[in-house]
Structure 1
């Protein structure tokens, strides 16, 4: 296995563990749900933006006649890593903003 994939897998695993630890804090139910929903909505917006950019790039390259384009914009492991980090950062920001 390529060492880059191993590094990204470790980063993804670490981000997932941090997300679960950060999300399981003992705050009020409504406040905790509000904070998690805000972070999830921001991460969802980023996912949609990245996917729209990928589709726009493929349409543009198809119109330009680039037949060598294979549609691999970003690897799935990298995509999940970026989304996990974005979710973790926004969760921590909203916890600090709306939490203690």
Structure 2
């Protein structure tokens, strides 16, 4: 079972899952992932990353010097799992030459 955090909001609970992906090219991978997923979902550029607006939740990409941080939020477990899978599969495919692996917490 993947560990998640629940944040309470006005409507009830919001599930959150995070991952840190070690890479020296985090900005490049964030750009590639945002560009790729931006063909399917709205992408909002942020200082140091991107916000991805999925119909079932949101994803945040935050790049630093040593790693790419991923955070997904959703109202239910199935949606959270779908978002985790979407980000992980696409990032790992884009980063296959650098052997990127996403491990959710």
> Would you say same fold, with TM above 0.5?
no
Structure number having the greater helix percentage: 1
Structure number having the greater strand percentage: 2
Q: Taking structure 1 as the reference length, what is the TM-score of the superposition?
A: 0.39
More relative contact order, 1 or 2 (CA 8 Å, 6+ apart): 1
Q: Taking structure 2 as the reference length, what is the TM-score of the superposition?
A: 0.37
